[in-house]
Structure 1
Amino acid sequence: MGSLTNGNTNLQTSPRNDEISVIMVPFPAQGHLNQMLQLSCHISSYGIPVHYAGSAVFNRQARLRVNALNPTDVDKINFQDLSSPSFASPPPVPDPSKKFPGHLQPAWDAAMSMAEPLGDFMRSLALKYRRVVIIHDPLIASLVKDVATIPNAESYAFVCISAYCQVKFLLEMMGRTCPIPRLRELPPIATTISDDLFYFIGLQDEGMSLRSGDIINTCRSIEGPFLEILESKEVAGDLKSWAIGPLIPATAKSESRHEIFKWLDKQAARSVIFATFGTTTTLTKQEVEVIAEGLERSGQKFIWVVREADKANVFEGEARRVELPAGFEERIGERGVVVRGWAPQPEILAHPSTGGFMSHCGWNSCNESMKMGVPIAAWPMHSDQPTNAVLVTEVLRVGLPVRKWGAETGEVVTVEMVEDAVRRLIASDEGGEVRKRAEELAAVLRGATEEGGASRLEMDSFIAHITRRDD
């Protein structure tokens, strides 16, 4: 994957990739939109036409928030706006007892109506191409059910979470005992999401049963044992799978340089902690105060992205301004920077002055941090994040916990916990060891996604599979 513009020369010319067309069907949430667009660019680099199909609102969001991808690669993607009903877009509610962004559910429910226009689009392409390949998010699988009625179409699920988390999720859904003791100790996935989403996931079973295989945004070099479980006969049956990640480019690119880099350029190497909690986390007033005081007490340099969680429609109305403690920015002075709004996360993580990442541990953020060799201070909030945090801190050992996840899920993060995590990660021997492992892991991941690497070979294998001739 490396440079998308090079692709794989042999596969671009033989077999004839212009006989194949790919439709990407993302789940309408930022972390999923982003990964699906990354995969779109990789597939397009093999000379295959790629159509990114979703509602106009979320196609616009995906294009607006292109992170680290080359704009010329994105320009090659055909964005197909599917008709979709309007949906409610209430503001997020900062509820400390349930971090899951249930306010996004109206958008997900509305997306279910796109099955008919997507089916029409699939059939129109099936008349023009020898084979139409549909790659969909598992959370939106029901939209592609018409694949069963199109002889020259086939579908694949694109798994946007870690293999470690996928093992836990699938085995719980199957009612099977997980063979990994640590995963058995963690609370069930159902407790980290809303009841509405749990029900919504159940609606995707029919679409998932039609797929011909799975693509997973992870690397066999680091998640091999967990991929073996997912690929076992008992779990996968006869389905094929390909581990092709991490999809994020090793060298982050941007059309324009954000103002934050003027400050970062002046800082010492690996001296800054970058704190941000993703697009779906709404911090309470108390949590904002805890983070502010913890960063202030730590004495370390920092960048803190302070923004409200996304509404379902990010273009509708103004986001709530998060209030910081009185005098905080004045007291911090030049030691820290507060960013309000969208920040170029991959580029910040790739900067040599960035030495740590306080993160919610969404899989996008984990992949970006690991590929850039930046250790993580893990503060998971909901969904797959708690399981990813355990993978990062306990299995791969490239991070330290701000809060541990387990029986003590109700544990409240204190000022002292934030201060301690920042100091340990940036300014201690323990943090130095974690950083060394993170840098070693980054070298493995970069090698895996370069020519001849494990993930690149699996991407080549997937492209060879979908461009095959069955006659």
Structure 2
Amino acid sequence: MVPLPAQGHLNQLLHLSRLISMYNIQVHYIGSTTHIKQAKIRAHGFDPLTITKLHFHEFHQTPSFETPLPNPNASHKFPNQLMPSFYATSHLREPVCSLVRELLSTNIGKVVVIYDSLMKWIVQDLPQMPNTECYSFNSTSAFMIYSFLWELKGKPFHPGTENYEDIPTIGDCFPPEFWDFLKIQEQFDGKIDCGELYNSSRVIESLYLDLMAKEYDGMKQWAIGPFNPLEKNEKSKDSNKRHESLDWLDKQEPNSVIFVSFGTTTSLCDEEVKELAVGLEKSHQKFVWVLRDADKGDVFTSEVRKVQLPQGYEEGIKERGIIVRDWAPQLEILAHSSTGGFMSHCGWNSCMESMSFGVPIAAWPMHSDQPRNSQLVTKYLKIGLIVRPWASRDEHVTSEMVENAVKTLITSKEGDEMRKRAADLRNAIKKAVADGGINRAEMDSFIAHITR
């Protein structure tokens, strides 16, 4: 496993590693010492013993990468502070080659490399090695990837492309710094892959998976998600390590709480924090709000900005809300019966986890794939609403927008209908991953292919 060193990417391949290891296949997960520690310490939602079956290979990156602080006032929400850690991965190229050579020398038979689609430059030498196969892992939706290709091809009409309305060009979703990094990876397109993997399901986006299959023109692809656990991990219920937010949720009514979290790559500016705080208060709904700055390239360096709330705010809302400033157990919160909605940036991890537990989304996309994921959620699946149109991204979200989104999702008939569709999708996903389900069949097909 060769993940990109960003939390959403580290997490998805860690979950996939766990699933593949259940087929009695030896799994090796590689990365810098810092990022493997990050992936392990934040893993949650499943029995931690399952991680002990994995082989972790920690490599020191030389030279060390910079860890600038995120800039909450930047004109673009993309986490430019992570770019030095992305570029530092170039130093993993030779260690990964050495590891593959070492594994091959043990007469292991075959080495299968699953690499993040943004880490092509690390695995570029591997297809020339004997008994080695590489598979690209797409960390976002087929909907997003197809819409990107559709735009590059001049926006031809296909059924389903009407769901791309109101999305500005892909260039508005990423800054120039990221495009430069992407161009490095693109030079290896078509030279490495034996197939494509998605953390997705045909019950979620079969149309777009089919369209992508046509784009691949015969290359094998497998939709084998969700990778995240679909049931609550009850083993943690009586543990002293159980997070305080879960104890608070235990005391609330079913579907009465909105969970507010914008992932690990977004920092809100002071004005956005204030408007969100006031909007949540004016909604008169219960909430769990994860209020923390975006990750740095090294999350273990000490300097962290503490986001300030209006004076007296936390005291004033303590009967109705809880503020979480540390790492929150998102899977367990979404799985909780009291959680009735999720105000989210629509990162693909968050979308998949929310769908897995039948929680509708108030979409507030920030950058990258998120605007397109939000369209999948709101227009195609109809299990959410938009807090602010992406076309208005340069304008601050107001407290009225927040208030309206929360009330609609938690207290209105429209919100109930979204929740019903989300619950139906959850049930379809559970059926798909169970024995005899379409996702289980796709995973079995992939395992059969790599072990042939």
Same fold (TM over 0.5): yes
CA distance in 2: counterparts of 1:76 and 1:451, whole angstroms: 23
Number of the residue aligned with 1:75: 52
Number of the residue aligned with 2:137: 158
Output the amino acid matched with 2:321: G
User: Which moved further from structure 2: 298-307 or 193-202?
Assistant: 193-202
TM-score, length-normalised on structure 2?
A: 0.95
Instruction: Give aligned pairs, total.
Output: 442
Matched-pair identity in %: 49
Number of the residue aligned with 1:464: 448
CA distance in 1: counterparts of 2:451 and 2:217, whole angstroms: 23
User: Which moved further from structure 2: 162-171 or 50-59?
Assistant: 162-171
- Would you say 1:148 and 2:127 are equivalent positions? yes
TM-score, length-normalised on structure 1?
A: 0.91
Residue 198 of structure 2, aligned match among 191, 199, 216: 216
CA distance in 1: counterparts of 2:401 and 2:53, whole angstroms: 46
What is the Cα deviation at residue 57 of structure 1?
0.8
Output the amino acid matched with 1:186: I
What is the Cα deviation at residue 410 of structure 1?
2.7
Contact (CA 8 Å) 1:142, 1:208: kept in 2 or not? no
Number of the residue aligned with 2:417: 433
Q: What do the CA deviations read for 1:240-265 (whole angstroms, capped 9, x no partner)?
A: 00001111111133653111222111
Question: Gaps spanning 5+ residues in structure 1: where?
Answer: 1-23
Q: What do the CA deviations read for 1:413-465 (whole angstroms, capped 9, x no partner)?
A: 11100000000101111111111111011101111111111111100000000
CA distance in 1: counterparts of 2:314 and 2:421, whole angstroms: 33
Q: What do the CA deviations read for 1:365-407 (whole angstroms, capped 9, x no partner)?
A: 00111110111111000000110111101110111111122x4
- Would you say 1:294 and 2:275 are equivalent positions? no
- Would you say 1:25 and 2:25 are equivalent positions? no
What is the Cα deviation at residue 187 of structure 1?
1.7
Contact (CA 8 Å) 1:34, 1:67: kept in 2 or not? no
- Would you say 1:202 and 2:186 are equivalent positions? no
Question: Gaps spanning 5+ residues in structure 2: where?
Answer: none
Contact (CA 8 Å) 2:67, 2:84: kept in 1 or not? yes
Number of the residue aligned with 1:398: 383
What is the Cα deviation at residue 207 of structure 1?
3.9
Output the amino acid matched with 2:443: M
User: Which moved further from structure 2: 252-261 or 95-104?
Assistant: 252-261
Output the amino acid matched with 1:161: T
Change (3 A) 1:343 1:170: same
Change (3 A) 1:242 1:198: same
Secondary structure, counterpart of 1:307 in structure 2: coil
Change (3 A) 1:398 1:60: same
Number of the residue aligned with 1:12: none
Contact (CA 8 Å) 2:127, 2:134: kept in 1 or not? no
Number of the residue aligned with 2:212: 230
- Would you say 1:259 and 2:244 are equivalent positions? yes
Q: What do the CA deviations read for 1:47-73 (whole angstroms, capped 9, x no partner)?
A: 000000111111111001102132111
Output the amino acid matched with 1:285: D
Output the amino acid matched with 1:108: F
Contact (CA 8 Å) 2:262, 2:345: kept in 1 or not? yes
Secondary structure, counterpart of 1:267 in structure 2: coil
Number of the residue aligned with 1:455: 439
Q: Root-mean-square deviation (CA), in Å?
A: 1.4
What is the Cα deviation at residue 311 of structure 1?
0.7
CA distance in 1: counterparts of 2:147 and 2:91, whole angstroms: 30
CA distance in 2: counterparts of 1:148 and 1:246, whole angstroms: 28
Residue 64 of structure 1, aligned match among 24, 31, 41: 41
Residue 357 of structure 1, aligned match among 342, 345, 360: 342
CA distance in 1: counterparts of 2:135 and 2:439, whole angstroms: 17
Q: What do the CA deviations read for 1:245-302 (whole angstroms, capped 9, x no partner)?
A: 1111111336531112221111111100010100000000000001100000000011
Number of the residue aligned with 1:20: none
Number of the residue aligned with 2:69: 91
